[in-house]
Amino acid sequence: MVVTGTGLEADLEAALDAERPDARLCLRIAEEYHRRGDRQQAFRWLARVVDASDQFVEWSGAASMLARLAAEERPLARRQARIALTGSYTLKPFGALLRLAALREGIDVVLHESGYDQYRQELLDGASPLYRFEPSHIVIAPHAGELRFSDPGEEPSLRLSREVERWSALWGAARLHSNATVVQHLFVLRPEESLGHLSARLQGSRYSLTRELNRALAQDAPEGVLVVDLERIAADFGKRQWFDDRYWHMTKQAVALDALPLIARHTAAVLAASLGLSRKCLVLDLDGTLWGGVVGDDGLPGIRLGTGADGEAFVAFQEYVLELKSRGIVLAVVSKNDDAVARLPFERHPDMRIKLDDIAVFRANWDDKATNLTAIAQSLGIGLDALTFVDDNVLERQLVRRMLPEVDVVDLPEDPSAYVRRMADYLRFETVSLTDEDLNRTEQYRARNAVEALRQSTVSLDEFLASLKMAAYVAPFDELHLPRIAQLMGKTNQFNLTGLRCSEDELRRLMGDPDAVHLYLRLKDRFTDHGLVAVLIGRREGSLMLIESWLMSCRVIGRAVEEWMLEELCLRATAIGCARLRGSYIPSGRNELVRDLYPRLGFVQAGEGAWELDLQDRTPAARSHIGTWDGK
């Protein structure tokens, strides 16, 4: 859309000049776009208020405008979610802010709000408005005043177990009456304590019981139930500011209004993680980011690392980055530097915590960082929207924001001692589970790079595939692999034919369906064990096998794994009496890669977006490049 008018142009120029535009400026730009009829641009600027401010008043203004615009046109988003919000206090202000925070994470939310303190009735009644809404997520937001620790003279463990059972029963009801993912807010301990410090020693004190309840609920939450640790968030925010008893007595608002944006932001991060929207790769600058100074100018002895206040701060930052790597975040490096010079600290500095083996992709050259970030995404086989970029140089950050808006950019403060806090406040690495594949992710992506180098050195595709010495293991779904299967279905976008997302509970029910065929594939090669990388779900309808879901990790695209997986499906479909396969391709905007998969594999078109394969006249495909493996 061509925009004219000096007012909007001036505001846009001011916003581009600011690293983090003022919330009021973002709102003004959104209002102007709305006035001109461009609601999608208005939505984008409303979402930017989330990063621009922590203040309730500014968030509330943006949330009100979002509700008004969404009634006219839905925002274009990466995911849609139907969220039922229920709890024990007045939730309307929080619900409005949650929609805004979710939009910033790429989620278009349709919201159902239960009435005040109606969470028990709504969750236990299978015919309640909450379930008629058919939510994809149920957010349970109680306050600590709802806890019913019984007779103080009773054994503390019994008092605790009864309360755990009460909340577990509500989760069970939600899972019985819906397929929704439950997001449970944990309880915030009030700062007022009549027993003083003795309360921490007494097992039966309300303070001790509430603390133990939070631990038990988080630890015992079954698959399909996620938690938001409000006690941790409130401790960071400040307990005296978290509670405002005037609002509780006047309006039954259990949390101070200025704390609501933070709760919304954290809840949206958990929602985004459940929908596969978390960032996957942290891309790090070097000079001024991992150490102080410029190694090319100051030399190895001249950089600040390990000694002095700044040196210790850079070490602490590296150690935090390694904690992220240990839970599955891929690390990459992009630096304007000579490659050999950039590697020196990793190879020779005694206080360097991050080593070259921790880095999946290392790019040090004199190209602009936007070009290098694009190359990193291509090398890893992930989208730009999976990258988070960290650089101490504000000009480099601004360049990346303008040229690659899909990449998330972290604003590092000037003082390196604040780097760890800034990264800890960054919520887009949130995860809902931790699998073996997560723990080995850097090794798997390093292996992918080694494979790419091998590809470039071989003459033909057949030679390349044979040189990988691949072996595959295919088996029906089982309990052990369900977390990884659900995770892969939630995160995979490029090689995903239908976009079907399933929870572990839904997959478990599928395993009990006699008409369902469900397969996962694990792959290893000469470089590494890639783990579980492909999933295929089919359903028998008479003599037809309908492919409901087929997806594969981007790490193994281009290796003929899809042919191997199809052959397995054909064998199993034939064994149960099916004569044809039918698959569909549902465009998502991100799965263009597999648009022609079915015709390429010999299927013929059978209607709009549908393809069929005749199993009776089909000659089994040769599987010469991938051997079999027992999975051990």
Which neighbouring-strand residues pair with 281? 330, 387
Predicted pLDDT at 1: 37
pLDDT tens digits along 196-233: 888 888 888 889 999 999 999 999 999 889 999 999 99
Q: Report the pLDDT value the prediction gives residue 371, as an integer from 0 to 100.
A: 95
- Assess whether pLDDT exceeds 80 at residue 456: no
The one-letter code for the residue type at 370 is A
- Would you state the pLDDT for residue 4? 44
> 626 and 617 in contact (C-beta within 8 Å)?
no
* All CATH 3.40.50.1110 domain ranges in the chain, comma separated: 77-274
Intervals of CATH 3.40.630.30 along the chain: 468-628
Tell me what pLDDT residue 359 has.
95
Cross-strand bridge partners of residue 263: none
Q: How far apart are CA 578 and CA 540, in angstroms?
A: 7
CATH fit for domain 1-69, picks 3.30.1360, 1.25.40, 2.40.50, 1.10.3470: 1.25.40
Helix, strand and coil content of the chain, in percent to the nearest 5, comes to 50, 20, 35
pLDDT for 436: 64
Higher-scoring residue by pLDDT: 103, 626: 103
Look up residue 344 and give its DSSP letter.
H
Q: Which CATH architecture has domain 468-628?
A: 3-Layer(aba) Sandwich (3.40)
Confidence of residue 511 (pLDDT cuts 50, 70, 90): very high
Q: What is the pLDDT of residues 587-597, one digit of tens each?
A: 887 788 888 99
- Does residue 110 have a pLDDT over 90? yes
Alpha carbon of 502 to those of 91, 136, 483, 492, 509: distances in Å? 29, 11, 11, 12, 10
Mean pLDDT of 93-110: 97
Report how far residue 496's alpha carbon sits from residue 498's, in angstroms, rounded to the nearest whole number.
6
- pLDDT of 453 above 70: no
Report residue 502's pLDDT band, with 50, 70 and 90 as the boundaries.
confident
Indicate whether 82 pLDDT > 60: yes
- Between 260-274 and 230-237, two packed helices, what is the crossing angle to 10 degrees? 140
Regarding beta strands 529-541 and 516-524, do their DSSP bridges make them parallel or antiparallel, or are they unpaired? antiparallel
Contact 609, 550 (CB under 8 A): no
Residues of the chain with CATH 3.40.50.1000: 281-424
Residue 621, C-beta contacts closer than 8 angstroms, at least 6 positions apart: 563, 566, 567
Task: For residue 130, give the amino acid letter.
Answer: L
Provide mean pLDDT across the span 574-584.
92
Contact 354, 305 (CB under 8 A): no
pLDDT mean across residues, the chain: 90
Is 136 within 8 Å of 82 (Cβ atoms)? yes
Q: Where are the beta strands (DSSP E) in 102-230?
A: 107-113, 137-141, 181-185, 225-228
Mean pLDDT along residues 236-240: 94
CATH 1.25.40-classified regions of the chain: 1-69
**What is the structure's pLDDT at 558?**
76
The per-residue pLDDT for range 51-76, each reduced to its tens digit, is 999 999 999 999 999 999 999 999 99
pLDDT of 443 over the 50 cut: yes
pLDDT score of 194: 86
In tens, the pLDDT along 381-427 reads 889 999 999 999 998 999 999 899 999 999 999 999 999 999 999 99
- Name residue, tokens 């090398």: 379
Task: Give the separation between CA 382 and CA 481, rounded to whole angstroms.
Answer: 23
Residue 624: predicted pLDDT: 65
Full DSSP string of 265-330: HHHHHHHHHHTT-S--EEEE--BTTTBBS-HHHHHHHHSB-SSHHHHHHHHHHHHHHHHHHHTT-E
How does DSSP assign 400-426, residue by residue? HHHH-TTSEEEE--SSGGGHHHHHHT-
The rounded distance, in Å, linking the Cα atoms of 350 and 360 is 21
Is the pLDDT at 292 greater than 60, yes or no?
Answer: yes
Residue 490 CB partners (closer than 8 Å, separation 6+): 274, 275, 276, 501
Instruction: Give the percent of the chain with pLDDT over 70.
Output: 94
| Strands 281-284, 408-411: pairing kind | unpaired
Per-residue pLDDT, 451 = 63
Which of the residue ranges 162-171, 454-463, 483-492 has the most confident prediction, judged by mean pLDDT?
A: 162-171
Residue listed under structure tokens 């690659």 = 404
Please, what sign has the CA dihedral across residues 613, 616, 617, 623? positive
Residue 40 has pLDDT above 80, yes or no: yes
Q: Which of 488, 465, 191 is nearest to 328 (CA)?
A: 488
pLDDT (average), residues 478-489: 89
Residues 123-170 have pLDDT tens digits of 999 999 999 999 999 999 999 999 988 677 788 999 999 999 999 999
Q: How far apart are CA 170 and CA 550, in angstroms?
A: 34
- C-alpha to C-alpha distance for 59 and 62, rounded to whole angstroms: 5
**Region 281-424: CATH code:** 3.40.50.1000
Contact by Cβ (8 Å): 314, 305: yes
Burial status of residue 194 (CB atoms within 10 A of its CB: 0-12, 13-18, 19 or more): exposed
Closest CA to 19 of 514, 452, 409: 409
Predicted pLDDT at 447: 65
Q: d(Cα 29, Cα 23) in Å, to the nearest integer?
A: 10
* CATH level 3 topology of 77-274: Rossmann fold (3.40.50)
For 303, counting Cβ atoms within 10 Å of its Cβ (0-12 exposed, 13-18 middle, 19+ buried), the class is: buried
Residue-level pLDDT at 560? 81
DSSP state of 513: -
pLDDT for position 311: 95
Structure tokens at 331: 């690390």
At a CB cut-off of 8 Å and minimum separation 6, what does 215 contact? none
